[in-house]
Structure formats: C-alpha cells, structure tokens
C-alpha cells in the first residue's frame, strides 16, 4: 500500500509534524515489531513527532516508550502498575460502552470507529457521525475518529466533537504528506 520504503514514508510523515504516529503492524511477530519500533522511534524523535506503539506492551516498556495504544480486550488485562508506565494510553473503541470503559481504565485518549465505509473494513458499513458524536459526548478524554477519514469529510468529524482523526491510506500514498496533513488540520 505504501508508495515507497516504509521507513522513508515514516520519515516524511514525521517531518510533517503530525499530532502523533500510531505504529500498528498487527501481522508482525513481537521481535519483528520491536525491530520496526526501534527504527520508527528513532525517526520520530529526530523530528519531534510523538510515536505511539500499538499492541505490544512489553516492547513499549522495553524501549522505554511512554505511549501505547491497545485493543480494549488487552487493556483490560493490564494491571494499574503496568498502565502507570505510560503517560499516553489509548484504546480502540467501537461503542459508547467501550469508550466509557476505556476512560475508566485510565486511557488518556481513544479512537472511535470505523466512521465511514473503508476498504480496510470491506463490506462492513461505517458507524457514521451520529455514532461518533455519541462517543464524544460520553467521555471527557480526546476522541480521534478512524475509518474512511479524508480532507473531504474532516469537517464532519470535527463537528461531531472529535479532537481529530487517524488516517492511514491517505498518508501512506499521497504525493505530499505535509499538504495532506494540512488539509486534514492534523499537522502541528
């Protein structure tokens, strides 16, 4: 899906100063993910871009990364001590109940989705902006919309109360990352 070497694309994204980069690579083993995380953290630090590791709590702890994003099921299994290692803690939420639980479990932000139809969830209709508004209204932590977000619909996302949006495909294939993020309003 990426038009170039993954690290080269991450370099361009980090240089555009996004609000954050969530390194989600669910098809890698823990060792493979750790090697990728080392490279990605180095690139992000160089550009001052926040990097949030995803799914591998032990890798984040080993690499002294203070930002972690987890599926809600995994978050439930962490002790308070394990969670306290992370100043930024996020979870993927797919209902209002998920969002409320994630906040109670100590999340500092959540992602909510998927909002619009997307190739990543082919055949599964998006939950829509009314769903997003309900999630945003149910918690006091920042909510980031995910799923089918693009410059053409980012205003709807913000109108629903989201703090921002997570994008993947667009950022990985666009010709000009800085321009793309500016169009989304997601560049610092």
What are the catalytic residues?
Answer: 114
Decide if 117 contacts 86 (C-beta within 8 A): no
Question: To which H or E segment does residue 70 belong?
Answer: strand 67-71
In 3D space, the residue among 26, 28, 32 whose CA is nearest the CA of residue 54 turns out to be: 26
**Residue 165, φ and ψ in degrees, nearest 5:** -145, 155
How far is the CA of 145 from the CAs of 88, 93, 155, in angstroms?
Answer: 17, 10, 12
d(CA 3, CA 13): 13
Put the strands of the sheet holding 88-93 in their side by side order: 21-23, 51-54, 67-71, 88-93, 109-113, 143-146, 164-166
């Amino acid at each position: 899906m990426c038009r170039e070497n993954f690290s080269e694309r991450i370099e361009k994204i980090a240089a555009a100063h996004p609000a954050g980069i969530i390194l989600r690579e669910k098809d890698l083993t823990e060792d493979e993910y750790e090697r990728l995380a080392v490279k990605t953290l180095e690139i992000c630090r160089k550009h001052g871009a926040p990097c949030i590791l995803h799914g591998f709590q032990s890798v984040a702890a080993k690499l002294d990364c203070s930002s972690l994003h987890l599926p809600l099921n995994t978050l439930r299994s962490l002790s308070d001590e394990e969670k306290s290692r992370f100043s930024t803690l996020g979870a993927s939420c797919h209902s209002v109940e998920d969002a409320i639980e994630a906040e109670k479990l100590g999340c500092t932000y959540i992602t909510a989705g998927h909002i619009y139809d997307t190739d990543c969830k082919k055949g599964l209709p998006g939950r829509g902006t009314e769903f997003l508004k309900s999630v945003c209204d149910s918690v006091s932590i920042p909510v980031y919309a995910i799923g089918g977000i693009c410059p053409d619909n980012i205003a709807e996302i913000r109108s629903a109360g989201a703090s921002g949006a997570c994008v993947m495909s667009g950022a990985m294939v666009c010709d000009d990352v800085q321009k793309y993020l500016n169009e989304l309003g997601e560049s610092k």
